[in-house]
Chains A and B, each alone.
Chain A
Amino acid sequence: MAMPRYTLTLWRIAVFIAALVPLAWWSSQVAINAAGPEPGKYLLLNIGQGILWMLLLTLSLTPLTKLTRWKGFTLIRRQLGLWTLAYALLHLFCYAVFILGLDLSRLGSEIVRRPYIIVGMLALTGLIVMGVTSNKWSMRKLGKRWKTLHKIVYLVLGLGLLHFLWVVRADLEQWSLYAAVGALLMILRLPPIARQLPKFRQLIKRPGQAHA
């Protein structure tokens, strides 16, 4: 699937804009007073879910590439990874400003006392480590270890889901959906299954001949 260079550039720009859309939507809801009596918490919770979308989308790129062989998916991996980090930093910002009212002494005590916050901060640390080593220089410098280091994304997914699970008070429906998608993406990485993905591509491409 060869594509002209400018198409791929447009694709990257489109992804960039698409990643901004949820933030713009939530902000507009707050601006027109449609976000309820606690707009800070509205942003906190929605951006929190946004992190999981971004993370799951990032993790779906490898299976999608295997399935379609389209270069475009690989091209946006770093971008989506960095969006995940950006959403996570915004989420922490909302918590510190809108929930703790910038009482930094409380931030310190909450971080060490609340298990769900400890887990969330660990996940954020993982994202930061991947974010600062996402440039070409770090890739060259780290060589083979770069790939190993960036496997912490799986740990981040686990920690993120645990953080969300510990926030839930009484209904697991939403959480179960995220966890199920996360589990599916992990299963698609198991070598025996990952090997089958390119074959699926041929099936999709030539459904008639597959039966012949």
Chain B
Amino acid sequence: MLIKIAKPGDLRESDVTPESVYLSRRRFMGGLAGVGAGLALAGRAQAAASDYQDVPAGNPPGWFKPKLENAEWDSVVPADRELDKLTPFEDATHYNNFYEFGTGKGDPARNADSLKTQPWSVVIDGEVANGGRFALEDIAKPSRLQERIYRLRCVEAWSMVIPWLGIPLGDVIKRAEPTSKAKYVKFETLVAPDQMPGQDSSFALIDWPYTEGLRMDEAMHPLAILGLGMYGRELPNQNGAPFRLIVPWKYGFKSIKSIVRISLVEEQPVNSWQAIAPDEYGFYANVNPKVDHPRWSQATERRLPNSLFNPNIIDTRMFNGYADEVASLYQGMDLRKNF
């Protein structure tokens, strides 16, 4: 008698991206432009800065102010703004995973003052024609700042909704003129134990620098941005100032903070979490309610802030709710194997 038992890695019918999902990518691309144009006409550009009156003013570099004044507000927003209400600034800045400043959620807010973010330069190297070390302002200069209100889903099963300010990652990569060998983009965080006390801990399992990576087509996707600000101001240090990645359809750890190096490479990079625990964290780390973390379920998430009386548990959505836009990138891939 032959009994066939499905292995966890086997492809199921449910893993195949439905046609409607990948076809709708084209509609989204059109919609993205439409949203931006529509809101600009509505005079949203002037109104937005005052949306964040309760947010404490930062200390932005001189070049950031004119960019902020010229920002394209509400460039991408959640479809249901009641369901995806903005997380209060206080919570988004005092509940962080940024192990360079300690492993507690409150450690980054306590310790990140020591980070020196001005001046800041970034090395762009590898398979590019136009590489080198660039001042952050020169990287940001050619692109208009856009506000992107994204859901942020942590691999630890909690989530927030954050209004980021950033520039398309694709713009920056294009300007570096990648060669035909460039298949992946690798990112590195600053290493500076004198400014980042977590890097001094002899118990840390992470081998600094914190490293992340994207496939080229993921990096070129219009939803992937390089963040410079949030809540109508520059990034607070604990949120990855002055320059970070935001990839909203992936678990939060992919969105690497305080970037000092972007390398275009031929081989798939090994990201930090994958290096520590390859059975728990993969390269792709796409938000996927059907593929559990070995230690906990990913089917639901706790939308923060929550309270004792209401843990605010909601269903986690495929690709964090961005399936219409990104599912086509993974067409035909076994997402259980490529977790």
Contact = CB atoms under 8 A, between A and B. Distances in A.
Nearest to B202: A173
Interface stretch (A34-42, A150-158, A189-197): A34-42
Contact of A172 (B160, B203, B304): B203
A176 B205 CA distance: 13
Contact of B99 (A30, A114, A171): A171
- Which residue among A98, A106, A114, A171 has the maximum number of chain B CB atoms within 10 Å of its CB? A171
Contacts, number: 71
A170 B99 contact: yes
B66 to A, nearest CB: 33
A98 B300 CA distance: 13
A22 interface: no
B337 to A, nearest CB: 20
Given A101-B311, A171-B103, A40 B306 contact: yes
B204 interface: yes
Contacts of A173: 103, 201, 203
Given A36-B91, A36-B94, A36-B105, A116 B308 contact: no
Nearest to B272: A170
B114 interface: no
B297 A106 contact: yes
B289 interface: no
A110 B304 contact: no
Interface string A43-87: 100000000000000000000000000000000000000000000
B314 to A, nearest CB: 10
Interface in B133-156: 156
Nearest to B312: A101
B103 A36 contact: no
A31 to B, nearest CB: 10
B307 A39 contact: yes
Please indicate which of the listed interface residues A43, A101, A103, A110 has the most CB atoms of chain B within 10 Å of its own CB.
A101
Contacts of A166: 295
A88 B206 CA distance: 31
Given A36-B105, A37-B95, A110 B313 contact: no
A37 B93 CA distance: 10
Contacts of A38: 95, 158, 302, 304-306
Contact of B87 (A37, A106, A110, A171): A37
A37 B91 CA distance: 6
Given A40-B311, A170-B205, A172-B203, A116 B306 contact: no
Contact of B276 (A37, A98, A99, A170): A170
A170 B103 contact: yes
A169 interface: yes
B106 interface: yes
B74 to A, nearest CB: 24
Given A36-B91, A170-B204, A171-B99, A98 B311 contact: yes
Nearest to A114: B295
B99 A37 contact: no
Given A97-B308, A171-B201, A171-B205, 16 more contacts: A37-B95, A37-B305, A37-B306, A38-B302, A38-B306, A39-B307, A101-B313, A116-B295, A170-B99, A170-B103, A170-B204, A170-B205, A171-B203, A173-B201, A173-B203, A176-B203
- The 7 A-B residue pairs whose C-beta atoms are closest, nearest first, are A37-B305, A173-B203, A37-B91, A171-B103, A37-B304, A101-B313, A172-B203
14 contacts: A36-B95, A36-B106, A37-B87, A37-B306, A40-B311, A97-B311, A101-B311, A110-B296, A115-B295, A116-B295, A167-B295, A169-B103, A170-B205, A172-B205
Interface of B: 87-88, 91, 94-95, 99, 103, 105-106, 156, 158, 160, 198, 201, 203-206, 276, 294-297, 302, 304-308, 311, 313
